[in-house]
Amino acid sequence: MKKVTGVKVLGIGKYVPEMIADNEDFAKIVDTSDEWITQRTGIKTRHITNGEPTYWIGARAAEKALEDAGLKAEDIDLIICCTVTPDYYTPSTACLIQRELGAIGCMAMDINCACTGFDYGLDMARRYLVAEDDVNRVLLVSAEELSKFTDYTDRSSCILFGDGAAAFVLERKPDTLWSSFLGADGNGAKFLVSRAMKSENVFRKNKEEFDMGMPETKLHYFTQDGKEVYKFATKALPMAVSKACEKAGITPEELDAIVPHQANVRIIETAAKNLGVSMDKMVVYIDRYGNTSSASIPIAFCDAVAEGRIKRGDKICFVGFGGGLTYAGIIFEY
């Protein structure tokens, strides 16, 4: 096992909205059933916001992480927020979280790597901690309000998504286990799509739509090619875990737990089989929350810690896959 300068997780926290939508609630608005959803996705319930903005739920998770770490907002040198559902194009969600916490003065930025966002953010946090002497503590937040872009008339996708947030407080840790393997395949960009503003202005004369090689969407609502995403995810997940393990000088069997992006239990089961590990090693709470994009990995981690499934000193792998298409594996010691 190779040891390098990595990260120490000082504190963790999660927040999910109080309002819950179960499968029976979805059966009332689209042609589906509890049995159909459960068998195909593993999802039973998901938390949905009732007017709370993305930055607000992120700030609540951040407060819990700071409390768990025994730190105050002014102890943070950098805030990184992972989200695909910001409340504004500008300011960033990270700046709004900073304002909410009272952590004024530190760096703050958003990143959008879709469902792989927490892995990318964790790797970015570690790079800042290693490279910058004036960055000693990083607050990493994933805040996602997927109900914003969910098309609740699309029976195939609306059942999948929930809202939630989670946060880690991190500092550098010498001589520890750390490995990261990150990548992307833009050729698959068209398989997971939510449209932003179109190219419109008062001076535009060309009325033809630019061919971006992307599917037509219903306003800003999310659309996906489920079959292509499944094929990508079941290959990307075991590949990212294997590559990260290889860099760390360990095998997947030596990991104490693998926390995958919670997209679909069938994806996780197939990926575990392809990786050659038991489902017992996989941390899965998709039944409680559905797919919360970048927040799904840290939310699942928080639950696993709270329930004693993950303990200090355990060798953990976070593995994400999502829109972009992006993928990543992170290995660290909790």
State the catalytic residues.
115, 261, 291
Beta strands in 240-323 (DSSP E): 257-260, 315-322
- CA pair distance 106, 34, nearest whole angstrom: 46
Cα–Cα distance for residue pair 194/171, rounded to 1 Å:
34
Helices (H), 74-116: 93-101
Q: 124 to each of 118, 131, 260, 288, 302, how far by Cα in Å?
A: 10, 11, 19, 29, 20
- For residue 59, how far is the Cα from the chain centroid? 16
Amino acid residing at 289: Y
Angle at alpha carbon of residue 199, lines to 194 and 202, rounded to 5°: 145
CA 172 vs CA 10, 127, 128, 330: distances in Å: 10, 9, 9, 15
Q: What token pair was written down for 35?
A: 């049995």
Tokens read off for 236: 């990307």
3-state SS, residue 6: strand
Which residues 6+ apart lie within 8 Å of 198 measured at CB?
A: none
- Sheet with strand 326-333: strands edge to edge: 178-184, 326-333, 315-322, 257-260
Which of these, 164, 188, 128, 137, lies nearest to 297 by C-alpha position?
164
